[in-house]
Amino acid sequence: MKVLFVNPYIYDFSAYDLWLRPLGLYYLAANVRRYSDAEIYWLDALDRFQDGMEIRSREDGRGKYPREFVEKPEIYQDVPRNYSRYGIPLELFQSKMAAFPEMDVILVTSLMTYWLQGLQFTLKLLKQRFPRAKIVLGGILPSLAPTETQSLLPADHYVSGYGENAVLRFLEGLGARVSYTPVLADNIESPLPAVDLAGTQKYVPLLTSRGCPLHCSYCASRLLNPVFLERRPQDILSEIEQRRRVFNSRHFIIFDDALLLNKKKRFLPVFSRLARDKQTRSRFHTPNGLHASEIDRESALVLHAAGFATLRLSFESLAPDILRRSDGKVNRKQMENAVNCLERAGYRRGQLGAYLLFGYPGQTVEDMEKSLAFIKGLGLVPHLSVFSPVPGTVDFIELQQRGVLATPLDLLETNKIYFLYQKSGFSLEAILQIKEMAATISHANLEAAEGDPL
Ligand code: B12
Ligand code: SF4
């Protein structure tokens, strides 16, 4: 049986490769390879490192996607931004498909609820080339919006939640020989994600836990991962070691929601061990925000000594309503303390980033100014994390009840840029003013940091 794994194109106002990787699909491919006799094929429309592409990247692997401007859907007509298809050139995608043999099954992932059109476009290409293949769709879309996914995206089978077990069962049902079907209920150890299928292994994703024990009203972590599951330190260390030995990987991108929570059990044993290992020159990056309240003297020293190069702290806001809805994640004092500890550990302040929620319902320009001024005072680089209304979250349901968002759900309304410009209450001038303010602070604080001591 031949099985093709596909990461689809993106249609959006913006998309940047901030180490975006289809990690869920890597896990599924590893499981299919280990536990079944299916033959595996791989097609990633977002892999900037695959053959024949000219790569322009930063040294750590971040970079721009190739893009092609496309017509905006009706609902986005008033958003004053270009709209594009992001991903590898179409000819490359098509020539890869043409070179593959006929497929029996195609497994397609989805990474954001609003990347609907990218999926529709990719599914159309796949159906034209492989009309007889069974298509299975999984990931964020069928997990958070199952009804809409089924009505808008043609597939033979839809999987909500973790796919390891479901995929093997599906293949077994079609006649593949399957030796084992893993259950991830209380143990997330599984074959290591199949990063060998990617165009490069220099920058590899790393997951030390699934989910988060907190309950922020804007976050879908709990819906996607009902239980906070943590890996054993020894298994995490073995994965890092294997990546270094086999692939010479240098950059590890942490995909956790909550790397530092329960730090004594996982973060400290793993990374203090790496910190002691002076031979290694690995770099760790946390594009997802870290819990600043967990950063004390000890964890700051470990972060620095282990080689954490990109550190972004989840700050969100100083606005009382947002703080309340963030499940007590962090406050002003904890943030100051975290930054002091990190500075003492050897970081310069301008090397540290802080995520600020922007475009949150009810937020005002004044809220943003105050929060930005606080981050400026701390000497950090602000990153505006534009609010995306995520289906199924408390905030999303409230927005529907208030009539701000449509019922039934319109997936295109979950786009963060659309929400910011059309629904957040911020005027175009205010949006530009806040972005400008953030850019100025960022520039000044980055300059103050001058260079990278890591
Ligand atoms: C890591 C991460 C990122 C990383 C990398 C993203 C990536 N995928 O490469 C970065 C930092 C870049 C990122 C950015 C953003 N993210 Co993000 N991110 C995550 C996070 C924490 C983990 C995703 C992940 O890889 N998990 C690990 C893998 C193993 O799990 P998985 O992908 O779910 O896969 C499993 C199942 O889904 C299933 N499955 C997956 N594919 C398939 C396919 C088939 C066929 C089958 C059967 C099953 C299946 O099986 C897999 C294995 O069990 C999730 C939250 C979460 N806990 O899921 C948010 C999340 C996806 N992000 C979210 C958001 C809001 C964002 C941002 C918009 C934030 C912002 N305001 O800027 C940006 C947007 C990025 C962009 N380019 O526009 C939202 C989703 C929003 C939405 N509307 O869909 C989430 C859910 C967090 C939240 N706030 O609720 N993110
Ligand atoms: S702390 Fe982060 S991951 Fe956890 S619920 Fe809040 S936003 Fe989601």
Instruction: Give the pLDDT confidence of 387-417 residue by residue, as tens digits.
Output: 999 999 999 999 999 999 999 999 999 999 9
CA 257 to centroid of ligand 1, rounded, Å: 10
Do 112 and 229 fall into the same domain? no
User: Among 272, 450, 442, 423, which residue's Cα sits nearest to residue 345?
Assistant: 272
Distances (CA, A) of 70 to 83, 93, 119, 146: 6, 18, 15, 27
d(CA 243, CA 283): 13
* Ligand with an atom nearest the CA of residue 171: 1
CA separation for the pair 130, 295 (Å, rounded): 51
Residues facing 311 on adjacent strands: 286, 352
Sheet holding 203-206, edge to edge: 203-206, 251-254, 283-291, 308-316, 352-358, 381-386
Ligand 2 atom having least distance to the Cα of 291:
1
- What confidence score (pLDDT) does residue 454 get? 47
Helix, coil or strand: residue 10: strand
Ligand lying closest to the C-alpha of residue 223: 1
Candidates 43, 206, 46, 56; CA nearest to 112 is 46
* Ligand 2 centroid from CA 215, angstroms: 6
Average pLDDT, the chain: 94
Kindly report the three-state secondary structure assignment for every residue of 133-187: CEEEECCHHHHHCHHHHHHHCCCCEECCCCCHHHHHHHHHHCCCCECCCCCCCCC
Does residue 218 sit in the same domain as residue 344? yes
- Would you tell me the crossing angle of helices 267-276 and 297-306 to the nearest 10 degrees? 50
CA 131 to ligand 2 centroid distance, Å: 41
Atom in ligand 1 nearest the alpha carbon of residue 21? 9
Please report, in tens digits, the pLDDT of each residue of the chain (454 residues total): 999 999 999 999 999 999 999 999 999 999 999 999 999 999 999 999 998 676 678 888 899 999 999 999 999 999 999 999 999 999 999 999 999 999 999 999 999 999 999 999 999 999 999 999 999 999 999 999 999 999 999 999 999 999 999 999 999 999 999 998 777 766 677 899 999 999 999 999 999 999 999 999 999 999 999 999 999 999 999 999 999 999 999 999 999 999 999 999 999 999 999 999 866 689 999 999 999 999 999 999 999 999 999 999 999 888 888 888 888 888 999 999 999 999 999 999 999 999 999 999 999 999 999 999 999 999 999 999 999 999 999 999 999 999 999 999 999 999 999 999 999 999 999 999 999 999 999 999 988 776 554 4
Q: For residue 397, is it within any domain? A: no
8 A C-beta contact, residue 263 and residue 250? no
Packing angle, helices 428-449 and 365-378, rounded to 10: 0
Buried b (16+ CB within 10 A) or exposed e, 419-429: bbbebbebeee
Indicate if 239 and 381 belong to the same structural domain: yes
Q: Regarding beta strands 10-12 and 134-137, do their DSSP bridges make them parallel or antiparallel, or are they unpaired? A: unpaired
Q: How far is the CA of 288 from the centre of ligand 2 (A)?
A: 10
Give a yes or no: residue 413 inside a domain. no
Query: Does residue 408 form part of some domain?
Result: no
Largest CA distance in the chain: 62
- pLDDT for residue 453: 43
Is 245 found in the same domain as 169? no
Residue 187: its pLDDT value, please?
63
Is 184 within the bounds of a domain?
no
d(CA 337, CA 184): 37
**Interhelix angle 116-129/90-99, nearest 10 degrees:** 40
Instruction: Choose which residue among 327, 331, 360, 396 to substitute to test ligand 2 binding: the one with the highest number of ligand atoms within 8 A of its C-beta.
Output: 327
Angle of CA points 415, 108, 151, to nearest 5°: 60
The residue segments making up the domain with residue 38 are 2-173
The CA distances from residue 152 to 71, 76, 146, in Å, are: 19, 18, 10
Amino acid at 104: D
- Rounded to the nearest angstrom, the distance between the alpha carbon of 448 and the centre of ligand 1 is 33
Per residue in 292-321, pLDDT (tens digit) is: 999 999 999 999 999 999 999 999 888 888
Q: What residue ranges line ligand 2, CB within 6 angstroms?
A: 212, 214-216, 219, 221, 257-258, 327, 329
How far is Cα 432 from Cα 437, in angstroms, rounded to an integer? 9
- Return the number of other C-beta atoms located less than 10 Å from residue 80's C-beta: 10
Q: Are residues 169 and 39 in the same domain?
A: yes
Give the whole-angstrom CA distance, residue 404 versus residue 359. 13
Supply the residue whose CA is at minimum distance from atom 6 of ligand 2: 216
**152 and 272 together in one domain:** no
Q: What is the pLDDT of residue 279?
A: 62
Last residue of a domain, one of 158, 173, 188: 173
Q: For ligand 2, pick from 208, 221, 324 the residue to mutate: most ligand atoms within 8 Å of CB.
A: 221
> Does residue 316 share a domain with residue 221?
yes
pLDDT tens for residues 233-254?
A: 999 999 999 999 999 999 999 9
Residue at 402 is within a domain: no
For ligand 1, residues with CB inside 6 Å are 15-16, 18, 20-21, 23-25, 27-28, 107-109, 111-114, 136-140, 143, 159, 162-164, 166-167, 207, 219-221, 224-225, 255, 257, 287-288, 385-386, 388, 390, 414, 416
Could you tell me which residues are beta bridge partners of residue 403? none
3-state secondary structure of 386: strand
Phi, psi of 201 (to 5 degrees): -115, 15
Is residue 161 a part of any domain in this protein? yes
> Are 448 and 350 contacting, i.e. CB atoms less than 8 angstroms apart?
yes
Q: Do residues 146 and 206 both lie within one domain?
A: no
d(CA 357, CA 25): 29
Q: Residue 255's domain is classified under what CATH number? A: 3.80.30.20
- Residues belonging to the chain: 454
List the structure tokens of 420: 């910011």
What pLDDT score does 451 carry? 53
DSSP single-letter state for residue 199: S
Evaluate whether 15 touches 33 at the Cβ level (below 8 Å): no
Is residue 172 within 8 Å of 224, Cβ to Cβ?
no
Residue 16 CA, closest ligand 1 atom number = 77
Count up the domains in the chain and report the number. 2
Question: CATH no. for residue 88?
Answer: 3.40.50.280
53 and 151 fall within a common domain? yes
Same domain membership, residue 158 and residue 262? no
434 with 301, same domain: the answer is: yes
Whether residue 399 is contained in a domain is answered as no
Q: What's the CA-to-centroid distance between 217 and ligand 2, angstroms?
A: 9
Answer yes or no: is 444 within a domain.
yes
Give the model's pLDDT for residue 449. Answer: 74
- 8 plus 138 within the same structural domain: yes
